[in-house]
Structure 1
């Protein structure tokens, strides 16, 4: 009998980044990178296959960085 807990490979329980089929220097998408970031390297498909979500998080990070830099520059200029 096969259940959901019968794992065919021993490396399924470890982080994705240390699995042999993942770690051969292939290019990963923004979704895979953000999924690895949010799950601590455990899962690379947590955000699904929608490319827009990865672009959203990337653009959000850029916007926060630019807003923080501009806010800091304005703050130091005013004081």
Structure 2
């Protein structure tokens, strides 16, 4: 088994978004953004590379916000 993780160097404990080799103004996918969110900016591929997982989490957040707004209007007690 071969790993490509570099256990040496100054960037070992620095979050990935603060490293100079990260992103270079490239567009992040939804999956990468959610991976960074869930891992505290430690890993951008924790959820894999599938677009479906990023869309799932985005849809879940949007549905939760819409449901909360509708619930506040429907069940508002005077």
Taking the aligned partners of 2:35 and 2:66, their CA distance within structure 1 comes to: 23
Partner residue in 2 for 1:43: 43
How many pairs does the alignment contain? 75
TM-fit CA distance, 1:13 = 2.7
Closer, same or farther: CA 5–42 of 1 in aligned 2, 3 Å: closer
Unmatched segments (≥5 aa) in structure 2: none
Aligned ranges for residues 46-61 of structure 1 at < 5 Å?
A: 46-61=46-61
Tell me how large the CA RMSD over aligned residues is.
2.1
TM-fit CA distance, 1:10 = 2.1
Partner residue in 2 for 1:34: 34
Deviations 1:10-69 (A, max 9, x none): 213310100111152221000100000000111111000111000000000000000000
Unmatched segments (≥5 aa) in structure 1: none
Secondary structure class of the residue paired with 1:53: helix
Larger Rg: 1
Is the helix fraction higher in 1 or 2? 1
Taking the aligned partners of 1:9 and 1:45, their CA distance within structure 2 comes to: 20
What TM-score does the superposition give when structure 1 sets the normalisation length? 0.82
What TM-score does the superposition give when structure 2 sets the normalisation length? 0.83
